[in-house]
Amino acid sequence: MKPVRLPAAATLALPRWALFALGLLYILPGLIGREPWKNDDAASFGIMWTMAHGGLNDWLWPNIAGMSMPEEGPLAFWLGAIFLKIFSWLDGEVFGARMSTIGIFAIGTLSVWYTAFNLGRRSDAQPLRLAFGGQPEPNDFGRTLADAAVLIYLGCLGLLQHSHDITAEALYVSLLAYLLYRAVRYVELASLRNAALLGLALGGLTLTRGWVTPVALTIALFLCTLFLRLPLLRTLRHLALAVLIAAALTLLWLLPGELVQPYGHSPLHAWMEWNFRQISLPSLKSLQFFFRVGIWFFWPAWPFAVWAVYAWRRQHHVLHVVVPLTFVAMLAILSLCHPDPDQSQLLPLLPPLAVMAAFGLLTMKRGAINAIDWFSVMVLTICAAALWLFWFAILTGWPPKLAHNALKLVPGFKPELDLIGFFVAAAATAGWVALVHWRISRQPAVLWRAVVLSSGGLILIWVLMMTLFLQELNYSKSYAGVAHQISVSLPPGNACINTNVGAAQRASFAYYGRLPFASVGQKDCDLLLLQDSVKLHDKQERLPDHNGAEWTKLWEGRRITDDSERFRLYQRIK
């Protein structure tokens, strides 16, 4: 027997304007006025910026101002470079590149919505018919489940920063969500068209972050069709077509790379090596990472998803359980088999977990739902109040101790009132208060009531961070100031620079300081930029051997907010 009894009153859909507004509040903060920070965000922007200002070689061989980065795949960087060239007139090149994340976010969110909607309107997912009628219509039930899945997806802590960074991971998780949707559509109707669209999704994933995950998910989809008893030969033909289309799409990059040999190299070899390094035997380290990080990374999806597996345990061959659960299981195995555990391996689990969690909401007890609501209200309201208090202390100096502790993190920073950011933060806070009042006073019976506060509160925290504290975050995480210092210390002429700086630093220096770094494969330069630690004594410093040349130091500096990292600029003495 199905575990669900639900009246029609519980399936009122979230108003479209409210869902659209939540999506805009989620994605827009963190795109406007945000500089590339010291992480993969700056490195990815560097690849996009190099492509946008470079030639065919840079589009075929991703690099950051001469630093080779061909491993993952170029699709995310192609999109960012195209958007950079089109939209840089709006608010600079960084904002132009970040515009691509809006479309990427829309693809992922819509895919999650339509996946849950198509699964929810199926007859095997419908709640039991009530004795005197009043059960929801299939489409109404599907829309409510879809709204709940999107709210859970947006409320996942692990998605928050990754969805705002201009990295391959943001496109990766959205294409995974689209692949999940295409998989559901294919199992519902196994046609050549759906198989071809499945191949496009697999090809996009391959061009974004390699072939390991697409191969594993192709196997997962095949297992789904076996478990759901689809015709074997027809499935094999369709999956072969999907794989061929994915391979053809991948060759759009690899074949020109083989023919052109950008910078004297073929991207195929480096790309294949990187893919093989993504697989290893499971280890205790990866297992510990999965559970230690996953417990907050997948919140609030994982409690509902676990409950869904338990609640629907007797329905062995229903599509809304088999497909998401198989995807979650395969992706979890992949993350455990990665030699270097990282949050990027956990990201693909979020779309199928969100869909599973929506079906877990159907049978969740009212007491558990109220407990989650009160937890969200208390924790997120306290966090929001703390952020407002810190902002007030930084701006006014009161309370003195709190202001001292906050400003100690950004030495030398001079706070200024940003009126636009203040009004946006105030409006978001007022919206949160209204949402909490609506939830507590009306006690709505709608299905998505259990997650609207979790999602709304997380969005509020992000809005406050990206409005009240954006200046401080840019000041502490950006390399713009160091880049300007280096640029004014360069000797006249067009001498190139060899360096050992990391990807994020190189991207920031090339963009903000227009430093003439050595191109791919170029080694003999008259300038040398070294990155090391201030803990390293001068006598311990070792310069690379450039044919016995001697060097003179032109500049030394660091970010004022980093007390360990140091940069030094040297010139060869001829």
Q: Hey, what are 529's tokens?
A: 């930029």
Q: Residue 434 is part of which domain span?
A: 379-477
Residues 306 and 437 in one domain: no
Residues 226 and 138 in one domain: yes
Spatial neighbors of 14 by CB under 8 A, at least 6 apart, are: 147, 151, 446, 448, 452
The answer to whether position 371 is within a domain reads no
CA–CA separation, 142 vs 113, rounded Å? 9
Q: Taking CA 249 as the corner, what is the angle to CA 245 and CA 250, rounded to the nearest 5 degrees?
A: 120
348: buried, middle or exposed (CB in 10 Å: 19+, 13-18, 0-12)? Answer: buried
Residues 40 and 188 in one domain: yes
- Helix spans in 134-266 (H): 138-155, 159-162, 168-188, 192-209, 212-227, 232-260
Residues 333 and 426 in one domain: no
Tell me how far apart the terminal alpha carbons of the chain are, to the nearest angstrom.
85
The answer to whether position 6 is within a domain reads no
The answer to whether position 551 is within a domain reads yes
Residues 526 and 448 in one domain: no
Its pTM surpasses 0.85: yes
The answer to whether position 540 is within a domain reads yes
Pick from 477, 499, 531: which residue ends a domain?
477
Residues 259 and 310 in one domain: yes
The answer to whether position 185 is within a domain reads yes
Residues 162 and 255 in one domain: yes
pLDDT of residue 42: 92
Pick from 455, 477, 499: which residue ends a domain?
477
pLDDT of residue 134: 56
Residues 467 and 561 in one domain: no
pLDDT of residue 1: 46
For 35, 46, 94, the CA distances from 512, given in Å and listed in that order, are 10, 11, 11
Q: How many CB atoms lie within 10 A of CB 114?
A: 19
Total of domains in the chain: 3
The answer to whether position 373 is within a domain reads no
Residues 441 and 529 in one domain: no
The answer to whether position 366 is within a domain reads no
Pick from 457, 477, 497: which residue ends a domain?
477
Check the CA dihedral 180-184-190-193 and report its sign.
Answer: negative
302: buried, middle or exposed (CB in 10 Å: 19+, 13-18, 0-12)? Answer: buried
Question: Do you know the residue count of the chain?
Answer: 574
Residues 63 and 75 in one domain: yes
Residues 164 and 122 in one domain: yes
CA–CA separation, 542 vs 430, rounded Å? 57
Contact between residue 242 and residue 196 where contact means Cβ atoms under 8 Å apart: yes
**Cα-to-chain-centroid distance, residue 449:** 26
For 119, 202, 232, 238, 337, the CA distances from 235, given in Å and listed in that order, are 20, 16, 5, 5, 28
Spatial neighbors of 208 by CB under 8 A, at least 6 apart, are: 72, 73, 75, 76, 168, 171, 172, 175
In degrees to the nearest 10, what's the CA dihedral of 99, 102, 108, 111?
Answer: -120
The DSSP line for 32-63 is SSPPP-TTHHHHHHHHHHHHHHS-HHHHHS-E
pLDDT of residue 7: 61
The answer to whether position 4 is within a domain reads no
Residues 225 and 330 in one domain: yes
Note down pLDDT in tens along the chain; length 574 residues: 456 666 655 667 788 888 898 999 999 998 888 999 877 899 999 999 999 999 999 999 999 999 998 888 999 999 999 999 999 998 899 999 999 999 999 999 999 999 999 998 888 877 766 655 556 788 888 888 999 999 999 999 999 988 999 999 999 999 999 999 999 999 999 999 999 999 999 999 999 999 999 999 999 999 999 988 899 999 999 999 999 999 999 999 999 999 999 998 889 999 999 999 998 989 899 999 999 999 999 988 999 999 888 888 877 778 888 999 999 999 999 999 999 888 989 999 999 999 999 998 877 777 777 787 788 889 899 999 999 999 999 999 888 899 898 888 888 888 899 999 999 999 999 999 998 888 887 766 677 777 888 899 999 999 999 999 999 999 998 899 899 999 999 988 778 999 989 999 999 999 999 999 998 888 888 899 999 877 766 555 555 554 456 888 899 998 888 888 899 999 988 7
